[in-house]
């Protein structure tokens, strides 16, 4: 990608210009980021270490936890550091890298959430064929398609944005390099690029969201003839997933399913799906999922037992 401009760095306006507010945000978002890392790493460790969780549902949950770690890391560390920096700058190629990784892992999350909805549909609506439909090979294929699709999406978004010339404007009215704020700085007509960006990001979000709605509609209809206990268990699992989907997709569609127009809520909405949702995912999946809670308890019991054995051997 050839640099067709004189700009070597960009400057973020960030979430706030007030020193006291920035210090408060520094402490708050540092805490949030620590929760994201610890919570998602704990889910990865639990799923990896417990054979009872080696199922398609938890295979994709572990993918989701990995994505949340990487997705939040694309923006959060830089945002947190900028709260205590006098000048919030990022190099041109740093901006390119940040946009690429942000859209790569963000799109991977969309695809994985969609695959998880399909998994729940197969488990509830096709229970006799579930092991055949969601075989180990099929899970690997679906995961690979999700990651490759995200890679293609991210490459297109980043290329469309940075093939434009950037002359003198350097100030990005945001806290990270996203498509719409960066396009505003281009010294060329961005109408076509804006349309292509909306068609790319917007259509992916909308189509996947509609697939999710169709999956859950089919699940709800299939539950009408089930026992009360079966309905309760299925609704609990699906309710957890639907909560995550709502928290992630609604803000994404608000940002990307419209022309490149700035609204006062944009930064707050972006904070929600780039930072808050990755923090909520492990909390939702652990607090509302008995299998994960039981697996974590077994993991803790094994750790305590191992410590006691080590103490006994030393005494």
Could you give the maximum distance between any two Cα atoms of the chain, in Å? 76
How wide is the angle at C-alpha 151 spanned by C-alphas 150 and 153, nearest 5°? Answer: 65
Rounded to an integer, what distance in angstroms lies between the CA atom of residue 96 and that of residue 90?
10
Number of neighbouring beta carbons within 10 Å of residue 113: 22
**For residue 195, what are its two tokens?**
């349309």
Give one DSSP letter per residue of the chain, joined into a string. Answer: ----SS--EEEE--S---HHHHHHHHHHHHHHHHHHHHHHHHHHHHHHH-GGG-SHHHHHHHHHHHHHHHHHHTTHHHHHHHTT-SS-EEEHHHHHHHHHHHHHHHHHHHHHHHHHHHHHHHHHH-GGGHHHHT-HHHHHHHHHHHHHHHHHHHHHHHHHHHTS---S--EESSSS--HHHHHTT-SS--HHHHHHHIIIIIHHHHHHHHHHHHHHHHHHHHGGGS-HHHHHHHHHHHHHHHHHHHHHHHHHHHHHSS-S---TTHHHHHHIIIIIHHHHHHHHHHHT-HHHHHHHHHHHHHHHHHHHHHHHHH-
pTM score of the predicted model: 0.87
Q: Are 110 and 206 in contact (CB under 8 A)?
A: no
151 strand-pairing partners: none
> What is the dihedral angle through the alpha carbons of 88, 89, 95, 98, rounded to the nearest 10 degrees?
-40
C-alpha distances (whole Å) from 53 to each of 138, 184, 207, 285 are 17, 47, 30, 13
Q: What is the pLDDT along the chain (315 residues), one digit of tens a residue?
A: 444 567 888 999 888 888 888 999 999 999 999 999 998 998 898 888 888 888 898 899 899 999 999 999 999 999 999 999 888 999 999 999 999 999 999 999 999 999 988 998 888 888 889 989 999 999 999 999 999 999 999 999 999 889 888 888 789 988 999 888 898 888 888 888 888 888 888 788 888 888 888 888 888 888 777 777 767 776 776 777 777 788 888 888 888 877 666 666 788 888 888 888 888 887 777 766 677 777 777 777 777 677 766 666 666
Number of residues written out for the chain: 315
Quote the crossing angle between the two packed helices 19-49 and 277-287, to the nearest 10°: 40
Structural domains of the chain in order of their starting residue, each with its CATH number: 9-291 (1.20.1070.10)
Name residue, tokens 């294929």.
141
Q: Are 128 and 86 in contact (CB under 8 A)?
A: no
């Amino acid at each position: 990608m050839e640099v067709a401009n004189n700009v070597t760095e960009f400057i973020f306006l960030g979430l706030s210009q007030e020193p006291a507010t920035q210090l408060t945000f520094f402490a708050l978002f540092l805490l949030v980021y620590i929760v994201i890392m610890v919570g998602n790493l704990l889910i990865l460790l639990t799923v990896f270490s417990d054979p009872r969780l080696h199922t398609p549902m938890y295979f994709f949950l572990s993918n989701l936890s990995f994505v949340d770690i990487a997705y939040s890391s694309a923006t959060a560390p830089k945002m947190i550091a900028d709260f205590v920096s006098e000048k919030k700058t990022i190099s041109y190629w740093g901006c390119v890298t940040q946009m690429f990784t942000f859209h790569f892992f963000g799109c991977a999350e969309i695809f994985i959430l969609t695959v998880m909805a399909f998994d729940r549909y197969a488990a509830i609506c096709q229970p006799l064929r579930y092991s055949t439909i969601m075989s180990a090979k099929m899970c690997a294929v679906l995961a690979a398609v999700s990651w490759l699709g995200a890679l293609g999406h991210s490459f297109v978004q980043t290329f469309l944005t940075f093939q434009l010339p950037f002359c003198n404007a350097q100030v990005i009215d945001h806290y990270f390099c996203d498509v719409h704020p960066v396009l505003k700085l281009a010294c060329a007509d961005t109408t076509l690029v804006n349309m292509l960006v909306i068609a790319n990001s917007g259509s992916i979000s909308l189509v996947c969201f509609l697939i999710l709605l169709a999956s859950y509609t089919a699940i709800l209809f299939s539950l009408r003839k089930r026992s009360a206990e079966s309905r309760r268990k299925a609704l609990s699992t699906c309710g957890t997933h639907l909560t995550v989907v709502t928290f992630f997709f609604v803000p994404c569609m608000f940002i990307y399913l419209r022309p490149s127009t700035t609204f006062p809520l944009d930064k707050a909405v972006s904070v929600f799906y780039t930072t808050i949702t990755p923090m909520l995912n492990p909390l939702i999946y652990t607090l509302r999922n008995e299998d994960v809670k039981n697996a974590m308890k077994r993991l803790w019991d094994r750790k305590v037992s191992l410590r006691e054995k080590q103490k006994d051997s030393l005494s």
